[in-house]
């Protein structure tokens, strides 16, 4: 192991708030990404609770329909662009250099800017609520021509998306360059930890898809203010064109969120199974296949727009294909656990929760792939349940697993294992109370994005709302677990997880020094 | 376990909440009244059974290893990390299953998209926030608006069993006939969906799409707009009454008679009291969602009528904006095509003399004159 040098005092770096404003250190920037995403997660969560409070009972009790629509819109945008995506960029910043034996990211100053673009974008998103007429009440998908009718809150949201897109693209270029150029000698591509592989693939997805979203919202902006008619049939445009462009971004976006989560899980499961990852090469190929397929299936979000039946058939078959690489990944994780020597600390519990619930989300994905069934379930709560199984029990649980797993390496202190386990069981229980019942609502035909509903939907909505408040409180409890670990956690042992094999555990002290791998480790042997 | 716990908690809670008298713990699709709908549900059941079998295998292996291959029971880790044979097997088996699923799915999709050789064609137009229907061959035209009173939504009066799923003018179709619905929209995208008839088709402004169904049983089928279309998206239901052929014919005749003889006298001079009373009804059915009870509005998007400069300004300007919509605010629709001359005269009288007190009003004949300009 390298000696733990603290180089801070050599460089006369700014302290206090200026340290974070000017920092080019991947660990500082990673921490800022993670804290920012957690704050946005709480904001988006409060919005979800406003939605669930209104839906607790039939009738309009808590908010007006217009404000309800603004909540569903901002909840979606904030969770996707403000919470989940920056959280995984935070993991990438902290972990990629340490896992490939690099001293920092390839472009440290651009890294600083990528992060500092986020707070203005977050302020624009939340500030849109204060604009005359409020935020856009259009859903996170922002379908034209409803967007034309909104007030200036809509423009603020469009600019926020532009800024978030710039941040993501720069972050991705940084990640790609770091991984391709800064690996330690002997760290060949097929020896990279799977987390690094998944981020390499995700970064390419981001570079390819974010400009498409920027184009879609820019066209919305010019339709709103500069007399263009991209999405206006009266001027020769087509409202469905917007949906094609949006989902050409939107489907890869699903995998931009899911693939880094696969990476975290592929680190956690082998560590706590004390057994190498099963089928490393097939994991890499499966992830690559999923990424390529994700660009070929976008219109399965649009089966009800009335496209030709031949196109519906193509999208159905292409969508079914995704089940194959996704299945390979699930089988590989189970095979990694098989005949291992497993222990169930909090990271492993969240990984198991991920495996079980993400697979259920995959199953409902197969149901939705079948076009005639999807048309029945399109825009109902079944779809809401399906994507929350993938986004919350998938990406969010993986993020929790990652935080508990790497926290000792980051801060040199342990979280309270008992409290971590309580956080897991609360999250697991309330997640299912909230979202499992939404499958039933969707099958019974309850549309999404409605502030009030018919009486036959009352029972499951009440159950779902109770679950949502439980889930929300469980995440406040998570904040307590985190703060307790940071303030008064026990000192972490040099190697808290006996099964860990990646460089940050084997070649660096705990906690990791501010500057690590100033000379790369030699892994050729 | 969770469900039964939830059921117990909820049955306790529901005893405290009056709105739940009609509650049901639905777990599956609304039973379909069409053969295609029944087939879709059968394919869904098939897919669910495939999923059940796969979950037993995958989750079985997962929980078996969680129970048996754990450190705390002293299991020592093996060191294998690949096996080409098994990896090929678990790639090929899903392919076989998916191909097997693709056959019924393809056949069914082709059948659901076949709207040829229909008996009756109805055009459904989405408006913010109501549906307009036109029976193209019979010449019947009407609008269909939510009939649930505002007081039920606000919880002032008790909700009835068809809460939010009831309209003033339902679509009426004969049983056993293939009905083709053409969908389009006037403003933003809506979606015409009725679960009991297994149909859902987006209504897109500027374009016509179609979908067909053939109901096998007489009854009332209720659905809702299924694409976010703004503020009142949750309040524009669809009701289809499937009736016998004879009932359908007499309904068509009745509709044609009503259309031929308006319920008002176009040349009569109504008193302001008559117009204000009628106008209050029109206001509550059409304007109240945005401009609110008493005309207080929700500024800035939905301006106040009480004291507002349009409803207290020139009466011609007032008529113009109601007839043709607002050039400045896209949320204000053109009501000329939707409301009759009587309704327009009445609602203007109500806004000027019920909500405000300008003293002036128009007669249906004035509206007709303004329309012909």
Please write the tens of the pLDDT for every residue from A150-159.
Answer: 999 999 999 9
Partner residue opposite B105 with nearest CB, options A371, A453, A455 = A371
Among residues B260, B290, B309, which one ends one of the domains? B260
What are the chain B neighbours of A320 within 8 Å (beta carbons)?
98, 101-102
Residue with the larger pLDDT of the pair A111 and B32: A111
* pLDDT tens per residue, range A269-284: 999 999 999 999 999 9
Is there a single domain that holds both residue B183 and residue B146?
yes
CB proximity B16 to A under 8 Å? no
Residue with the larger pLDDT of the pair B16 and A522: A522
Please report the pLDDT score of residue B262 as a whole number: 65
Cβ atoms < 10 Å from Cβ of A29: 26
Partner residue opposite A146 with nearest CB, options B9, B112, B230 = B230
Confidence of residue A242 (pLDDT cuts 50, 70, 90): very high
What is the average pLDDT across B211-237? 95
Is there a single domain that holds both residue B185 and residue B206?
yes
Please report the pLDDT score of residue B312 as a whole number: 87
CB proximity B31 to A under 8 Å? no
How many domains, in total, are found in chain B? Answer: 3
CA distance A114 to chain B (A): 33
Confidence of residue B21 (pLDDT cuts 50, 70, 90): very low
DSSP A303: G
What is the average pLDDT across A391-401? 96
CB pairs under 8 A between A and B: 318
DSSP B31: P
Cβ atoms < 10 Å from Cβ of A145: 25
CB contact at 8 A, A63 and A56: no
Q: Is the pLDDT of residue B28 over 90?
A: no
What is the average pLDDT across B139-156? 91
Is there a single domain that holds both residue B129 and residue B87?
no
DSSP B356: S
Please report the pLDDT score of residue B6 as a whole number: 46
Please report the pLDDT score of residue B13 as a whole number: 47
Tokens of B257: 């008679």
Please report the pLDDT score of residue B1 as a whole number: 36
Please report the pLDDT score of residue B261 as a whole number: 65
Tokens of B289: 């969602």
- Cβ burial, residue A310 (10 Å; 0-12/13-18/19+): exposed
Please report the pLDDT score of residue B237 as a whole number: 96
Please report the pLDDT score of residue B2 as a whole number: 39
Tokens of A485: 């670990």
Confidence of residue B17 (pLDDT cuts 50, 70, 90): very low
Most confident of A127-136, A239-248, B362-371: A239-248
CB proximity A321 to B under 8 Å? yes
Establish if B30 belongs to a structural domain: no
* pLDDT tens per residue, range A157-194: 999 999 999 999 999 999 999 999 999 999 999 999 99
DSSP A82: I
Is there a single domain that holds both residue B220 and residue B157?
yes
Is there a single domain that holds both residue B132 and residue B53?
no
Q: Is the pLDDT of residue B20 over 70?
A: no
Domain coverage including residue B350: 272-372
Q: Per DSSP, what are the bridge partners of residue B224? A: B237
Q: Is the pLDDT of residue B3 over 70?
A: no
Tokens 């662009």 correspond to what residue? A81
CB contact at 8 A, A333 and A265: yes
Cα B357 from chain centre: 37
Mean pLDDT, chain A, integer: 94
Which residues of A carry out catalysis?
75, 104, 140, 167-168, 251, 253, 255, 266, 300-301, 326, 329, 448
ipTM: 0.91
| Euclidean distance between CA atoms A427 and A417, whole angstroms | 15
Residue with the larger pLDDT of the pair B277 and A81: A81
Establish if B231 belongs to a structural domain: yes
Establish if B47 belongs to a structural domain: yes
CA distance B260 to chain A (A): 33
Please report the pLDDT score of residue A10 as a whole number: 55
| Euclidean distance between CA atoms A281 and A267, whole angstroms | 14
Comparing A130-134, A428-432, A471-475, B288-292, the range with the smallest average pLDDT is: B288-292
What is the average pLDDT across A366-388? 96
Please report the pLDDT score of residue A350 as a whole number: 97
CB-side exposure of B90: number of CA atoms within 13 Å? 22
Among residues B260, B283, B315, which one ends one of the domains? B260
Please report the pLDDT score of residue B260 as a whole number: 65
Cβ atoms < 10 Å from Cβ of B44: 19
3-state class of A5 per DSSP? coil
Cβ atoms < 10 Å from Cβ of B208: 12
> What end-to-end distance do the CA atoms of chain A give, in Å?
17
Establish if B339 belongs to a structural domain: yes
Q: Which residue of A has its CA nearest to B111?
A: A372
Establish if B138 belongs to a structural domain: yes
CB proximity A444 to B under 8 Å? yes
CB proximity A57 to B under 8 Å? yes
CB proximity B63 to A under 8 Å? no
Confidence of residue A12 (pLDDT cuts 50, 70, 90): low
What are the chain B neighbours of A149 within 8 Å (beta carbons)?
187-188, 230, 330-331
CB proximity B76 to A under 8 Å? yes
Establish if B8 belongs to a structural domain: no
Partner residue opposite A341 with nearest CB, options B25, B69, B229 = B69
CB proximity A149 to B under 8 Å? yes
CB proximity A383 to B under 8 Å? no
Is there a single domain that holds both residue B128 and residue B256?
yes
Percent of chain A scoring above 90 in pLDDT: 94
Is there a single domain that holds both residue B176 and residue B224?
yes
Contact A306 B200 (CB under 8 A): no
Among residues B205, B239, B260, which one ends one of the domains? B260
For residue B306, give the CATH number of its domain.
Answer: 1.10.760.10
Length of chain A: 525
CB contact at 8 A, B364 and B345: yes
CB contact at 8 A, B46 and B104: yes
Please report the pLDDT score of residue A11 as a whole number: 58
Is there a single domain that holds both residue B299 and residue B234?
no
CB proximity B263 to A under 8 Å? no
Going by C-beta distance under 8 Å and a sequence separation of 6 or more, which residues neighbour residue A336?
Answer: A269, A270, A273, A275, A276, A277, A278, B81
Please report the pLDDT score of residue B12 as a whole number: 47
Is there a single domain that holds both residue B310 and residue B187?
no
Question: What element of type H or E holds B133?
Answer: strand B130-135
Is there a single domain that holds both residue B133 and residue B227?
yes
Establish if B323 belongs to a structural domain: yes
What is the average pLDDT across A425-453? 96
CA distance A363 to chain B (A): 7
Establish if B131 belongs to a structural domain: yes
Contact A233 B205 (CB under 8 A): yes
CB contact at 8 A, A239 and B189: yes
Residue B182, phi then psi, degrees to nearest 5: -95, 125
Contact A304 B202 (CB under 8 A): yes
Q: Is the pLDDT of residue B301 over 80?
A: no
Contact A454 B165 (CB under 8 A): yes
Q: Which residue of A has its CA nearest to B73?
A: A341
* pLDDT tens per residue, range B73-109: 988 888 888 899 999 999 999 999 999 999 999 999 9
Contact A338 B61 (CB under 8 A): yes
3-state class of B242 per DSSP? strand
Contact A338 B65 (CB under 8 A): yes
| Euclidean distance between CA atoms A161 and A125, whole angstroms | 9
CA distance A178 to chain B (A): 28
Q: Is the pLDDT of residue A119 over 70?
A: yes
Q: Strands B120-127 and B178-185: what pairing? A: parallel
Is there a single domain that holds both residue B108 and residue B128?
no
Best B35, B125, B128, B189 member to test A by mutation, with max A CBs in 10 Å, is B189
Is there a single domain that holds both residue B252 and residue B151?
yes
What is the average pLDDT across A59-65? 93
Q: Is the pLDDT of residue A3 over 90?
A: no
Percent of chain B scoring above 70 in pLDDT: 92
CB contact at 8 A, B244 and B229: no
Tokens of A258: 């899911």
* pLDDT tens per residue, range A189-219: 999 999 999 999 999 999 999 999 999 999 9
Confidence of residue B245 (pLDDT cuts 50, 70, 90): very high
Mean pLDDT, chain B, integer: 87
For residue B238, give the CATH number of its domain.
Answer: 2.60.40.420
DSSP B295: G
């Amino acid at each position: 192991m390298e000696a733990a040098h603290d180089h801070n005092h050599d460089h006369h770096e700014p302290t206090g708030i200026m340290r974070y404003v000017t920092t080019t250190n991947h660990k500082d920037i990673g921490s800022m990404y993670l804290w920012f995403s957690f704050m946005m997660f709480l904001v988006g969560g409060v919005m979800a609770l406003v939605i669930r409070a209104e839906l607790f009972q039939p009738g309009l009790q808590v908010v007006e329909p217009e404000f309800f629509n603004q909540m569903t819109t901002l909840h979606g945008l904030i969770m996707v662009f403000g919470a989940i995506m920056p959280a995984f960029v935070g993991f990438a910043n902290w972990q990629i250099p340490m896992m490939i034996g690099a001293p920092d990211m390839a472009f440290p100053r651009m890294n600083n800017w990528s992060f500092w673009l986020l707070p203005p974008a977050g302020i624009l998103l939340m500030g849109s609520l204060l604009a005359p007429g409020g935020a856009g009440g259009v859903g996170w998908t922002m379908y034209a021509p409803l967007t034309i009718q909104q007030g200036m809150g809509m423009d603020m949201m469009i600019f926020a998306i532009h800024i978030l897109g710039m941040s993501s693209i720069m972050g991705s270029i940084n990640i790609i360059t770091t991984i391709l150029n800064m690996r330690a000698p002997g760290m060949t591509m097929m020896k990279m930890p799977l987390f690094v592989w998944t981020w390499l693939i995700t970064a390419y997805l981001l570079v390819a898809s974010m400009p498409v979203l920027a184009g879609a919202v820019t066209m919305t902006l010019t339709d709103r203010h500069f007399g263009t008619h991209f999405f206006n049939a009266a001027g020769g445009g087509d409202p469905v064109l917007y949906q094609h462009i949006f989902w050409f971004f939107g489907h890869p976006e699903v995998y931009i969120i899911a693939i880094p989560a696969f990476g975290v899980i592929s680190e956690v499961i082998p560590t706590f199974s004390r057994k190498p990852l099963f089928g490393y090469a097939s994991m890499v190929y499966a992830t690559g296949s999923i990424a390529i397929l994700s660009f070929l299936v976008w219109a399965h979000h649009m089966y009800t727009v009335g496209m030709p039946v031949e196109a519906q058939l193509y999208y159905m078959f292409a969508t079914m294909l995704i089940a194959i690489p996704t299945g390979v990944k699930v089988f590989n994780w189970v095979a990694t656990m098989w005949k291992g020597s497993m222990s169930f600390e909090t990271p492993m519990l969240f990984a198991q929760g991920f495996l079980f619930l993400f697979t259920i989300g995959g199953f409902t994905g197969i149901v939705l792939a079948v076009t005639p069934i999807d048309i029945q379930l399109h825009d109902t709560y079944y779809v809401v349940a399906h994507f929350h199984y993938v986004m919350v029990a998938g990406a969010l649980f993986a993020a929790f697993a990652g935080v508990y797993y790497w926290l000792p390496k980051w801060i040199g202190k342990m979280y309270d294992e008992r409290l971590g386990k309580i956080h897991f069981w609360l999250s697991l229980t309330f997640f299912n109370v909230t979202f499992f019942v939404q499958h039933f609502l969707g099958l019974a035909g309850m549309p999404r994005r409605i502030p009030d509903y018919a009486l036959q939907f009352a029972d499951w909505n009440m159950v779902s709302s109770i679950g949502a408040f439980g889930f929300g409180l469980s995440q406040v409890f998570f904040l307590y677990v985190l703060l307790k670990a940071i303030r008064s956690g026990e000192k972490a042992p040099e190697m808290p997880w006996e099964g860990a094999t990646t460089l940050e555990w084997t070649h660096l002290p705990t906690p990791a020094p501010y500057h690590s791998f100033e000379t790369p480790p030699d892994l050729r042997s | 376990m969770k469900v039964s716990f939830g059921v117990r908690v909820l049955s306790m809670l529901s005893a405290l909440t009056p709105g739940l008298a009609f509650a049901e713990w639905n777990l599956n699709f609304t039973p379909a009244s069409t053969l295609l709908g029944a087939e879709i549900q059968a394919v869904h059941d098939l897919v669910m059974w495939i999923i059940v079998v796969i979950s037993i295998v995958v989750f079985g292996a997962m929980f078996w290893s969680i129970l048996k291959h754990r450190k705390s029971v002293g299991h020592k880790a093996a060191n294998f990390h690949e096996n080409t044979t098994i990896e090929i097997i678990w790639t090929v088996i899903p392919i076989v299953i998916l191909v097997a699923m693709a056959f019924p799915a393809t056949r069914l999709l082709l059948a659901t998209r076949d709207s040829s050789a229909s008996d009756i064609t109805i055009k459904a137009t989405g408006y913010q926030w109501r549906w307009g229907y036109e029976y193209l061959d019979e010449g019947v035209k009407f609008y269909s608006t939510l009939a649930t009173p505002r007081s039920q939504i606000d919880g002032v009066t008790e909700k009835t069993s068809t809460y939010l799923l009831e309209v003033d003018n339902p679509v009426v179709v004969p049983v056993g006939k293939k009905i083709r619905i053409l969908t389009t929209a006037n403003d933003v995208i809506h979606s015409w969906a009725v679960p009991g008839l297994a149909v859902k088709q987006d209504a897109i402004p500027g374009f016509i799409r179609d979908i067909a169904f053939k109901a096998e049983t007489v009854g009332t089928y209720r659905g809702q707009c299924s694409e976010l279309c703004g503020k009142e998206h949750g309040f524009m239901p669809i009701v289809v009454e499937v009736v016998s052929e004879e009932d359908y014919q007499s309904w068509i005749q009745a509709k044609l008679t009503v259309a031929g003889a308006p319920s008002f006298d176009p040349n009569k001079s109504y008193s302001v009291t008559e117009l204000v009373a009628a106008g209050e009804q029109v206001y509550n059915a059409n304007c109240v969602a945005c401009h609110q009870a008493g005309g207080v509005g929700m500024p800035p998007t939905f301006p106040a009528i009480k004291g507002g400069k349009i409803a207290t300004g020139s009466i011609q300007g007032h008529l113009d904006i109601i007839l043709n919509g607002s050039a400045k605010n896209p949320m204000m629709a053109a009501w000329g095509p939707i409301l009759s001359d009587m309704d327009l005269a009445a609602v203007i009288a109500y806004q000027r003399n019920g909500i405000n007190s300008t003293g002036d009003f128009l007669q249906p004949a004035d509206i007709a004159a303004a329309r012909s300009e």
